[in-house]
Chain A
Amino acid sequence: MSGAESVGVGRADGSADRTPVPDADVCVVGAGPAGALIADRLAGDHKVVVLDAGPRFDPADRLARQERAIRPFYDRPDVWGVGGVRDAHENAGDRFYPLNHARVKGVGGSTLHWQGMVMRLHEDDFNSGTARGIGPDWPIDYADLRPYYAEAERELGVAGASDNPYAPPREEPHPMPAFEPSYSDSLFAEACESLGIDMHSVPNARNSEPYDDRSPCVGYGTCQPVCPSGAKYDATVHVERAEEQGATVLDRAPVQRLDHDGDDRVTAAAYATPDGKTHRQEADAFVVAAGGVETPRLLLLSASDRYPDGLANGSGHVGEFFMDHLFAGAGGRLDEPTRQNHVGFYTSGCDQFYDAADETQAPFKLEFLNYAGPSPVESALSGDDWGDSLLERLRDGYGTHVAMGGLVEQLPRADSRITLADDRTDDHGNPVPRVEWTVGERALDTIERANEIQVEILEALGADVEWVAGPDATGPAYHHMGTTRMSDDPDRGVVDAECQTHDLTNCWIASSSVFPTSGAMNPTLTIAALALRVADAVDDRLSEA
């Protein structure tokens, strides 16, 4: 069916069998990238059940979702059906956090709308306290994750090159060649060279050539929030693979709480179904992979007499240390064509300043954007003009923009956190998440530093700088991290170095919620690497049993 408003017609049958699977070995909560990778990795040898709160989206709807992304009637959350009572939340911090712009609920999770950038964290990111003098060290090092990074790159399908002198060491080339630099990259290159600033390729979870039976990028230009071609990786790839091996994936099955016994074992996930019933999925092992907001929320909702402050919350830190990456940007116009908005991803970055981080300056990376300024087709649908006057407006508005972006680390703070709302409940009567997002001076100062460099480059390029997204205009990159932090010390963290909860003997967390610090690199490759590591740990445990 055509038309943006046709979305949803093809959703999976609401009367599908959603009863529990008997004798399950593993129950995974969440069918995003972490849950999907774990299900795929374990399904060959174990009986796996995945429960997801959202629907199974019909691939045939992707063009209609793309139309939603372009048409002005639809807001970003409308593209993947986010919002309503199911996704209600509160904001209580000193900065507004647009949570429903920042997530997708459903099979595939937020990879359905993500940008698809897949950098490895740097070595110092794992040792912030030791190397930079601020923040906690992770209980694992880059070397522990290095082989899993390589596996994750193969699983997701990463197009990249080894031309980045600032990237951490790697053992093999990326699975696919990097996307070539854009025309506007070539304009930036001259300016950067004059300033002694290095540019390099960036790794994309997007096919630069056919890979894994998926299409190469065909240039729809709407990567974020939807890739109709399937060239951009999303977690439905591994959900389907897991199902082919026998895993059961239940959509629209939001987990209400995790039940436990008196021996610190999770016994069941209680989940609701569209018919109004509640079921209990029992399993030997549980993996919570519901992202940086819903993961702590589920643990808090699972409070019991034995765990009055929430499950796995002996440390009292569940929900605390909520972090995101801060956006720093600047843009303007040249007096020549810049060829923007042909594709929806960027092809060059600069990590030169990343490892200069210390107590006062956060790590940050810079991006040379290929989608600066308005998209003509989107502009055409707003305004009170048409005909020749519209065309004139579109011509004036398009063609000469340039822009740079950047991500900045924010430090973990106990007062930046996810808690449960006091009075507001969701469609199942559960308290909704309350977001308190608080950003410290180090991050704000670093945004200014990033802005200085961005403006310097733009001016060297000859651009008329028209906007700067500095400390007052920054926003989140929609990377939810830190809310069930990893630590060897049960008093200082929720999970141990293997991502197993300290308090429960059969429960792991696979999510960016375990990050003790965030670095400034997009988190999904690290999420994927940690998920593959969790899969090994769960497999070992089940094999021992």
Chain B
Amino acid sequence: MNLGLPKLSMKLTRRDAAAALAALGATGGVALGVRRETDAEGVGEADTARDGEGLPEDETVQTVMTAVAEAVYPEAISGIDAFVDGFLAGRLDGSSHDEGIRAAVADVESAARSWYGAPVAGLPPGERDDVLRELGADTAEENPQGTTAERVRYYVVNELLLALYASPTGGELVGIENPQGYAGGAESYRQGPP
């Protein structure tokens, strides 16, 4: 059925990240590009695993989440790096949610290194997908206090899917430019299909 849906080539923008943050709430970083400064490291160089009892730094979280996003977002989506960076700028705010993201990212990274001998970002997309499935994140139901699979589903996979599909570009991919969670105004519901 041809419903006039957009062609599968969409670029995520800073507006999308801002919209996702506005939908889900954040205390800081809504003005994009204000992430805490960290020393940039190459993908293969980043220390992406737990450091003792510590949790991954911002840069590591950004690297891993972007790598996972490239696996769980549709292929036609571009602009992922800036989108994830902007979105995380608001979510890594010192909250319990922030801590949950970091812990789940550490679990994903640890699994990638243990099972595939490389950080997530160093794996080809197919193997990133494998890591997530072998962790059980595909069949797990999200749960912020649950098993590793359930936490990875909540804090990593669903965190990224929520950010995408609550944004205007993510919505447009499906055919709704004002998806639930996005304050897209009270006009689009009156308009016919584009």
- How distant is the Cα of A164 from the Cα of B138 in the complex, in angstroms? 50
List 18 A-B pairs, Cβ < 8 Å. A1-B25, A2-B90, A3-B24, A3-B95, A5-B97, A72-B141, A73-B142, A218-B184, A218-B185, A221-B178, A339-B188, A343-B186, A370-B189, A375-B179, A376-B176, A380-B161, A386-B161, A398-B174
The 8 Å CB contact of A398, one of B175, B184, B188, B192, is B175
Which residues of A lie under 8 Å from residue B142 when comparing CB positions? Answer: 71-73, 381
Given A1-B95, A2-B95, A342-B178, the answer on whether A387 and B23 have CB atoms closer than 8 Å is: no
A499 CB, nearest partner CB in chain B, Å: 36
A342/B176 in contact, CB under 8 A: yes
B62 to chain A, nearest CB (A): 16
- Residue contact B129 to A70, C-beta cutoff 8 Å: no
From A46-54, A316-324, A389-397, A487-495, give the one contacting chain B. Answer: A389-397
Mask for A199-229, Cβ within 8 A of B = 1, else 0? 0000000001000000011111110000011
Chain B residues within an 8 Å CB radius of A378: 180
Contact between A70 and B181, CB atoms less than 8 A apart: yes
Closest to A398 in B: B174
Instruction: Verify A399–B180 contact, CB threshold 8 A.
Output: no
Interface membership of B37, Cβ < 8 A: no
Chain A window 66-95, contacts with chain B (Cβ cutoff 8 Å), 1 for yes, 0 for no: 110011110000000000000000000000
The number of chain A residues touching the other chain, given as a range, is 35 or more
Across-interface contacts of B8 in A (CB, < 8 A): 391
Q: Is A139 an interface residue (CB 8 A)?
A: no
The answer to whether B183 touches A377 (Cβ under 8 A) is no
In the bound complex, residues from chain B placing their C-beta under 8 Å from that of A390 are 72, 74, 161
User: Are B71 and A339 neighbours in the complex by a CB distance under 8 Å?
Assistant: no
A378 to B189, CA, bound (A): 18
Q: Please pick, from B74, B91, B181, B193, the residue contacting A220 in the complex, using a CB distance under 8 A.
A: B181
Question: B23 to A66, Cβ gap below 8 A?
Answer: yes
With A343-B186, A387-B75 already in contact, the answer to whether A375 and B158 are too (CB < 8 A) is no
Q: How far does the alpha carbon of A70 sit from the alpha carbon of B144 in the complex, in Å?
A: 15
Is A218 a contact partner of B141 (Cβ separation < 8 A)? no
CA A249 – CA B75 in complex, angstroms?
54
Indicate if B9 sits at the interface (CB-CB under 8 A).
Answer: no
Is B83 in contact with chain A by the CB < 8 A criterion? no
Considering only residues 333-351 of chain A, those with a C-beta below 8 Å from chain B are: 335-337, 339, 341-344, 347
B193: A residues at CB distance < 8 A:
336-337, 339
User: B126 to nearest A CB, angstroms?
Assistant: 11
Extra 18 A-B pairs, beta carbons < 8 Å, given A221-B182, A337-B4, A380-B164? A62-B25, A63-B23, A67-B25, A72-B142, A182-B189, A186-B192, A218-B186, A219-B182, A219-B183, A337-B192, A339-B189, A342-B188, A377-B166, A377-B170, A381-B162, A387-B73, A394-B173, A395-B5
> Does residue B43 face the partner (Cβ distance < 8 Å to A)?
no
Asked if B179 and A376 sit within 8 Å, CB to CB, the answer is: yes
Answer yes or no: B98 CB below 8 A from chain A CBs. yes
Identity of the chain A residue whose Cβ is nearest the Cβ of B90 in the assembled complex: A2
Smallest Cβ distance from B166 to chain A, in angstroms?
5
Quote the shortest CB–CB distance from B87 to chain A (angstroms).
10
Specify which chain B residues have a CB less than 8 angstroms from the CB of A216 in the assembled complex: 186
Contact (A6, B179) CB under 8 Å given A66-B23, A219-B188, A342-B184: no
Interface size on B, residues (CB 8 A): 63
Other-chain residue from A63, A180, A376, A387 in contact with B72 (beta carbon distance below 8 A): A387
Q: Is the CB of A217 within 8 A of B91?
A: no
**Given known contacts A3-B91, A381-B162, A391-B74, A222 and B24 CB-to-CB distance under 8 angstroms:** no
Residues of B within 8 A of A386 (CB): 71-73, 138, 157, 161
* Beta-carbon contact of A1 and B71 below 8 Å: no
* Interface residues in A355-406 (C-beta closer than 8 Å to B): 370, 375-378, 380-382, 384-388, 390-391, 394-395, 398-400
Question: Judging by beta carbons under 8 Å apart, are B174 and A5 in contact?
Answer: no
A387→B74 contact, CB < 8 A: yes
Of all chain B residues, which has the CB nearest A61? B25
Binary contact track B2-18/A, C-beta < 8 Å → 1, others 0: 01110010000000000
A73-B154, A376-B179, A377-B179 given; A394·B174 CB < 8 A: yes
Residues of chain B lying within 8 A (CB to CB) of residue A380: 161-162, 164-165
Given contacts A1-B97, A342-B188, A376-B179, contact A387 B171 (CB under 8 A): no
A246 interface residue (CB < 8 Å to B):
no
Q: How far is the CA of A395 from the CA of B5 in the complex (A)?
A: 8
**In the complex the two chains form, is B190's CB within 8 Å of A181's CB?**
yes
- Residue A444, interface by CB 8 Å: no
Determine if B114 is an interface residue (Cβ-Cβ < 8 Å).
no
Chain B minimum-CB-distance residue to A6: B95
A64 interface residue (CB < 8 Å to B): yes
* With A218-B183, A219-B189 as contacts: A3 and B171 at CB distance below 8 Å: no
- Chain A residues in 8 Å Cβ range of B157: 386
Which residues 138-166 in B have Cβ within 8 Å of A in the complex? 138-139, 141-144, 154, 157-158, 161-162, 164-166
Q: Which residues of B contact A1 (CB under 8 A)?
A: 25, 27, 93-97
